[in-house]
């Protein structure tokens, strides 16, 4: 839908409050009369903006409402108020009945009343006034409202989001400044309504404070290697429409995100977005949990993901849990999610390996699925198809592994509910850890390095783009888009307007960061509630055991392992549960094939556990392989082979979710 409406008369500031609005909201509702002029004739619209969004009511000549449309506030990402660029088309349109200077225009009588109003002009009105490139006698001001509304092409197809631009043209007054002031009033009312849908961490509390920015980490090697293009083409436009300022860092090597998140001063950012796959997100989580101040940072820094990897389990799981369409435009859906200003607590699992601990948000695997995940790396060029091809190969060459799996059922499934051992009350002690004695110390010792603006950031990370989504600079260069009104044809300015910070010498930091990682103690983050990996697990404490030959063990805490793998349908992001799925050796190939085939629809798990397939909702488990070789993965990344134990840390991270 692309709507363009001319304003014919100035009228109300606020009227009847929407249901549920409190008294404080009333001053932010705006409404007015607009009209559209089409070949078939003119139509009069009552347009109202309130907490629910825009309501457009078409009136008959008699004043009765004959049609009503809504653009929901939940679908709106942002708006701009602007002056038209000099163009023949607009010069012609300026000659219509209610343009300024027309003695019959209601604008004439109304303009005087408004000239003296004390409204502060917005950035856009000031800059446009001085813009020599505009102005050909048309004194209109335009408000463009960007929304992504849910649509269905046909009964059979999935819902998808379609970009919609609602255009309101203000031309009741004699001067552009007055019209712009009116457009700006609507713009401000909309910003206010949008902000009130956001959580506190996404909004700067006062105008004096620096606006909190978004940190973007992009892995140029993820998936089929086109994350940069995907970000430039599909994500920056949405961030710009939403006026979300961001700093983009392109990862330079494996572990870059761990170093970044564990060593940087993060105060400037309200959230961090991984543009890549689950591996990049895994590094971000682990970097954060390697910080001494992790307990302070985690609740105040929401994490988001733009799916550009080959698996994309987390992005798919988030969309699934919030009924957000995924398949038609996964990147657009994720971009809308990261600007939504909403977040949800997310469980993280602490994994104790023999030599170190890691943190996991998706899965821990041993056997079939991990083999496919890692071994199929050699056919990475096939993208997501690599998993299907290697699954068939592994099925034909089926392996089994010998080992012991001990587990603690989650409390409601436990035979001894309420026992005290391992009671996770959500209170985690700060692990006594050695200080990160190199880079963090260097930063904290020098207060000038704490400045959050990119130009002052310590110059360790190369390939930095900082882009302030200024309305004046950025939107100006794509004026053409609104003229067309063609949402799908809109042109966006390119990333070339970004500022690149090329770093001459990063060798010093590389050395420091490597030493910092090396020196950092492995037992960081929340402390473990489990016995040490070398200690026995006692039946009296509730530990239960499965032992023997296994085709695989996969522990999962999100619904999806990949876009097409609905592995743990009952999982929720914050249910404090690890779904431990075991397949025993001896399973027939047809049975296994049926299990694997049905994973895409989530119908692969038995209602009741059977001899070969078991689903165990647990809060902790230990894996002790009896073989001395094999593949173990955490979040799809290979880790050292050997015993490990895992425990869920309910809701310790925050993940960005759709509105």
**One of 172, 251, 262, 498 touching ligand ATP (CB under 6 A):** 251
Q: Using the rule CB under 6 A, which residue among 86, 129, 196, 252 binds ligand ATP? A: 252
Residue 320: half-sphere exposure toward Cβ, Cα within 13 Å: 25
Cα separations (Å) of 287 from 145, 173, 260, 263, 501? 38, 56, 7, 8, 23
- Taking CB under 6 A as the rule, does residue 228 contact ligand ATP? no
From 254, 453, 522, 609, residue interacting with ligand ATP (rule: CB under 6 A): 254
Residue among 210 and 356 whose Cβ is closer to ligand ATP: 356
Minimum CB–partner distance for residue 515 and ligand ATP (Å): 19
Considering the rule CB under 6 A, would residue 221 count as an interface residue with ligand ATP? yes
237 binds ligand ATP (CB under 6 A): no
Q: How many CB atoms lie within 10 A of CB 422?
A: 17
d(CA 257, CA 352): 21
Residues numbered 57-76 forming contacts with ligand ATP, rule: CB under 6 A: none
**Among residues 53, 625, 636, 658, the one that binds ligand ATP under rule CB under 6 A:** 636
Look up residue 456 and give its DSSP letter: G
- 564 in helix, strand or coil? coil
Q: Is 222 an interacting residue with respect to ligand ATP (CB under 6 A)? A: yes
In the bound complex, which residue of the shown chain has the CB atom lying closest to ligand ATP? 277
Min separation Cβ 252 and ligand ATP, Å: 5
Q: How far is CA 441 from CA 258, 436, 451, 489, 652, in A?
A: 17, 7, 16, 50, 26
CA distances from 320 to 155, 314, 326, 447, 641 (A): 20, 10, 8, 44, 32
Query: At 79, is the secondary structure helix, strand, or coil?
Result: strand
Among 39, 156, 253, 378, binds ligand ATP (CB under 6 A): 253
Q: Does 17 bind ligand ATP (CB under 6 A)?
A: no
Query: Residue 53's beta-bridge partner residues?
Result: 50, 72
| Site string (166-205) toward ligand ATP, x via CB under 6 A | ----------------------------------------
Q: Which is nearer to ligand ATP, 568 or 616 (CB)?
A: 568
Interface with ligand ATP, residue 337, by CB under 6 A: no
Pick between residue 204 and residue 374 the one whose CB is nearest to ligand ATP.
374
Q: Is the dihedral of CA 120, 124, 127, 132 positive or negative?
A: negative
Q: What 3-state class would DSSP assign to 562?
A: strand
Please check whether residue 374 is in contact with residue 631, taking contact to mean a CB–CB distance below 8 angstroms.
yes
Binding mask 298-317 for ligand ATP (x = CB under 6 A): -----------xxxx-----
Instruction: Decide: is 287 part of the binding site for ligand ATP (CB under 6 A).
Output: no
Kindly state the number of chain residues that form the binding site for ligand ATP, as judged by CB under 6 A. Answer: 23
Which is closer to ligand ATP, CB of 114 or CB of 228? 228
Give the closest residue to 256 by CA, choosing from 288, 284, 228: 284
Separation CA 375–CA 501 (nearest Å): 38
Does the footprint of ligand ATP cover residue 219 (CB under 6 A)? yes
Asked if 277 is part of the footprint of ligand ATP (rule: CB under 6 A), the reply reads yes
- Do residues 232 and 275 make contact, with C-beta atoms less than 8 angstroms apart? no
Query: Judged by CB under 6 A, which stretch of 272-280, 338-346, 540-548, 549-557 contacts ligand ATP?
Result: 272-280
- List contacts with ligand ATP (CB under 6 A): 219-223, 251-256, 276-280, 283, 309-312, 636-637
């Amino acid at each position: 839908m692309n709507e363009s409406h001319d304003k014919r008369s100035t009228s109300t500031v606020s009227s009847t409050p929407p249901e549920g609005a409190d008294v404080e909201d009333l001053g932010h509702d705006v409404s007015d009369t607009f009209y559209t002029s089409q070949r078939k004739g003119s139509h009069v619209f009552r347009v109202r903006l309130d907490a629910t969004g825009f309501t457009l009511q078409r009136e008959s000549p008699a004043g009765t409402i004959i049609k009503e449309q809504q653009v929901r506030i939940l679908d709106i990402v942002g708006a701009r108020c602007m002056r038209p660029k000099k163009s023949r088309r607009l010069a012609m349109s300026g000659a219509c009945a209610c343009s300024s200077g027309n003695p019959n225009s209601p604008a004439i009588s109304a303009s005087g009343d408004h000239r003296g109003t004390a409204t502060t002009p917005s950035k856009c009105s000031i800059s446009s006034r001085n813009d020599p490139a505009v102005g050909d006698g048309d004194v209109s001001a335009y408000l463009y409202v960007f929304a992504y509304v849910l649509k269905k092409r046909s009964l059979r197809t999935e819902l998808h989001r379609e970009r919609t631009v609602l255009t309101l043209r203000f031309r009741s007054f004699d001067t552009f400044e007055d019209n712009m002031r009116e457009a700006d009033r609507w713009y401000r009312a909309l910003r206010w309504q949008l902000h009130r849908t956001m959580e506190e961490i996404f909004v700067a509390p006062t105008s004096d404070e620096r606006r909190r920015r978004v940190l973007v980490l992009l892995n140029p090697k993820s998936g089929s290697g086109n994350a940069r293009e995907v970000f430039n083409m599909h994500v920056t436009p949405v961030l710009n429409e939403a006026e979300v300022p961001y700093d983009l860092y392109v990862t330079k090597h494996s572990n870059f995100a761990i170093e970044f998140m564990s060593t940087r001063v993060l105060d400037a950012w309200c959230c961090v977005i991984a543009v890549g796959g689950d591996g990049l997100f895994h590094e971000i989580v682990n970097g954060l949990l390697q910080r001494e101040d992790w307990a302070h940072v985690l609740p105040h820094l929401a994490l988001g993901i733009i799916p550009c990897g080959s698996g994309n389990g987390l992005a798919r799981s988030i969309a699934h849990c919030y009924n957000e369409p995924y398949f038609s435009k996964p990147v657009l859906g994720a971009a809308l999610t990261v600007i939504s200003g909403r977040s949800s607590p997310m469980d993280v699992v602490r994994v104790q390996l023999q030599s170190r601990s890691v943190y996991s948000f998706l899965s821990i695997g041993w056997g079939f699925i991990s083999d496919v995940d890692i071994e199929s790396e050699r056919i990475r060029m096939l993208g997501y198809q690599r998993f299907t091809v290697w699954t068939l190969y592994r099925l034909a060459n089926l392996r089994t592994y010998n080992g012991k799996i001990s587990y603690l059922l989650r409390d409601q499934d436990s035979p001894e509910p309420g026992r005290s051992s391992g009671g996770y009350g959500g209170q985690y002690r700060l692990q006594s850890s050695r200080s990160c004695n190199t880079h963090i110390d260097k930063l904290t010792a020098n207060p000038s390095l704490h400045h959050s603006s990119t130009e002052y950031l310590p110059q360790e990370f190369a390939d930095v783009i900082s882009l302030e989504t200024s309305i004046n600079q950025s939107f100006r260069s794509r004026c053409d888009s609104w003229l067309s009104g063609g949402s799908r044809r809109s042109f966006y300015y390119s990333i070339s307007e970004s500022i690149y910070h090329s770093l001459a010498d990063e060798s010093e930091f590389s050395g420091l960061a490597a030493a910092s990682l090396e020196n950092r103690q492995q037992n960081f983050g929340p402390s473990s509630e489990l016995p040490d990996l070398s200690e026995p697990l006692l039946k009296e404490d509730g530990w239960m055991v499965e032992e023997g030959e296994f085709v695989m063990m996969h522990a999962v805490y999100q619904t999806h392992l990949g876009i097409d793998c609905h592995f743990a349908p009952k999982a929720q992001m914050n249910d404090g549960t690890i779904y431990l799925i075991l397949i025993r050796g001896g399973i027939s190939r047809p049975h296994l094939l049926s299990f694997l085939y049905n994973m895409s629809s989530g119908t692969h798990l038995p209602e009741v556990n059977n001899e070969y397939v078991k689903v165990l909702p647990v809060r902790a488990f230990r894996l002790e392989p009896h073989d001395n070789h094999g593949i173990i993965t955490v979040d799809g990344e290979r880790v050292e082979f050997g015993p490990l134990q895992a425990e869920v840390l309910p809701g310790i991270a925050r993940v960005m979710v759709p509105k």
